[in-house]
Amino acid sequence: MAMTFSFFAVIAIVVVALIGALSGLHFVFGVILPYAAFAIFLVGFVNKVLNWASSPVPFRIPTTAGQQKTLPWISDSKLDNPTTTIGVIGRMVLEILFFRSLFRNTSTELRSGNLVHGPAKWLWLFALIFHWSFLLIALRHLRLFVEPVPFLIQGIESIDGMLQVGSPPIYISDLLIIAGVTFLFMRRVILPRIKYISLAADFFPLFLIFAIAATGILMRFVFRVDIVGIKTLLVSLANFSPVVPDGIGVIFFIHVALVSALMAYFPFSKLMHMGGVFLSPTRNMANNSRAVRHINPWNYPVKFHHYDEYEDHFRDVMKDAGLPLEKE
């Protein structure tokens, strides 16, 4: 059900864009839609992060995946259990760039009657492949938005195409992203426990990203489009003086509609983990709760009533009742 719904939602976007492009609504699908989607993306993203930032973290909750700093002769794990800001930055870098905590993923299964816990690295590997190729592809697309093309982007472009297979050459990241997204999808279908907890919100982004990659690859190798025309359009979008050249090709508008759907959906979806990973309290806090006092931000000023004051207050009554007093 979740899967069917997501599948047809993506098909619907494709069909709407196809009909729109065929009926000549190039300005709508080439200019208005991307502008609107990008605006929703930026405003929605910032809004979401500000919303998160307005919730306090009541106490330090770093996960401690290594020896804590204690006595000087016990060596502590500086990245997995950081006590300093530098250590936290190191841990965050490992987390964001290399998915350190996913690397620790384990699986538990029954093997010939015994419950065994073992490492499970495939998810980590394919998640890494998927995210890195997504990043490279996004960066590479800057060649179509920026003139002159920045040096760094040229470097990425030539490394990505270094296999020099065919003309235009195959990009390594194209193969990798398809492999990555296929793995992430298959695990939701094949593993019964994962399938059970998968929702439309899990399948839809996978299908959408698959469709984006597929239309991109088709556009490169099968339904060729006028790339110079496309760059003219995209540069003009970046300059806020949009012009849509003729004869770009229908598949381009489908590709753009899918990407626009992704951008507009982003702030309201699980994809916000892109911003969320920076705010994960179990990762971005130093484990220094023994050294530094962390005050719960929503503590209100407590009115204390010490025993001394209590005794002063009730001295007479207590004396009458014969209770022992500290001060007479």
Partner 1 sequence: MYDSDKIIPGLIIFVGLMTFPIWSSIGKAEPKPEPKIDTPAINQMVKKQCVEDTHFMKTSHMQMINDWRDKVLRDGERYYTNSRGEKVMMSLQNTCMKCHSNKDKFCDTCHTYTDVKPYCWDCHIQPKGIKQ
Counting contacts by CB under 6 A, is residue 166 touching ligand HEC?
no
Stretch that binds ligand HEC, among 76-84, 88-96, 162-170, 265-273 (CB under 6 A): 162-170
Residues 6+ apart with CB under 8 A from 269: 201, 204, 205
How far apart (Å, rounded) are the C-alpha atoms in residues 323 and 328? 11
How far apart (Å, rounded) are the C-alpha atoms in residues 111 and 114? 5
Taking CB under 8 A as the criterion, the residue among 68, 77, 182, 236 binding partner 1 is 236
Site for partner 1 in 45-64 (CB under 8 A): 45-46, 49-50, 53-57
Site for ligand HEC in 6-35 (CB under 6 A): none
How far apart (Å, rounded) are the C-alpha atoms in residues 276 and 270? 9
Three-class SS state of 117: strand
Site for ligand HEC in 168-227 (CB under 6 A): 168-169, 220, 227
| Cβ proximity of 229 and 247 under 8 Å | yes
Taking CB under 8 A as the criterion, the residue among 232, 280, 282, 289 binding partner 1 is 232
Counting contacts by CB under 8 A, is residue 149 touching partner 1?
yes
How far apart (Å, rounded) are the C-alpha atoms in residues 275 and 71? 36
What is the nearest approach in angstroms of ligand HEC to the Cβ of residue 275? 32
Taking CB under 6 A as the criterion, the residue among 22, 42, 186, 228 binding ligand HEC is 228
- The DSSP line for 15-68 is HHHHHHHHTT-HHIIIIIHHHHHHHHHHHHHHHHHHHHHTS---S------SPP
Amino acid at 168: P
| Cβ proximity of 202 and 213 under 8 Å | no
Q: Is the peptide bond before 168 cis (omega within 30 degrees of 0)?
A: yes
Nearer to partner 1, 187 or 231 (CB): 231
Residues 6+ apart with CB under 8 A from 99: 124, 127, 128, 131
CA–CA distances in Å: residue 244 to residues 24, 229, 308: 11, 8, 81
Number of residues forming the site for partner 1 (CB under 8 A): 46
Taking CB under 8 A as the criterion, the residue among 24, 113, 192, 247 binding partner 1 is 247
Among partner 1, ligand HEC, none, what binds residue 249 when CB lies within 5 to 8 Å by partner kind? partner 1
Among partner 1, ligand HEC, none, what binds residue 48 when CB lies within 5 to 8 Å by partner kind? none
Site string for partner 1, 191-220 (x = CB under 8 A): ------------------------------
Of 66, 125, 134, 69, which Cα lies nearest the Cα of 99? 125
Counting contacts by CB under 6 A, is residue 249 touching ligand HEC?
no
CA atoms within 13 A on the CB side of 103: 10
Counting contacts by CB under 8 A, is residue 132 touching partner 1?
no
Nearer to ligand HEC, 90 or 169 (CB): 169
Number of residues forming the site for ligand HEC (CB under 6 A): 6
Q: Which parts of this chain interact with partner 1 (CB under 8 A)? A: 41-42, 45-46, 49-50, 53-57, 142-149, 153-154, 157-158, 164, 166-168, 224-228, 231-232, 234-236, 238-240, 247, 249, 275, 278-279, 297
Q: Which parts of this chain interact with ligand HEC (CB under 6 A)? A: 167-169, 220, 227-228
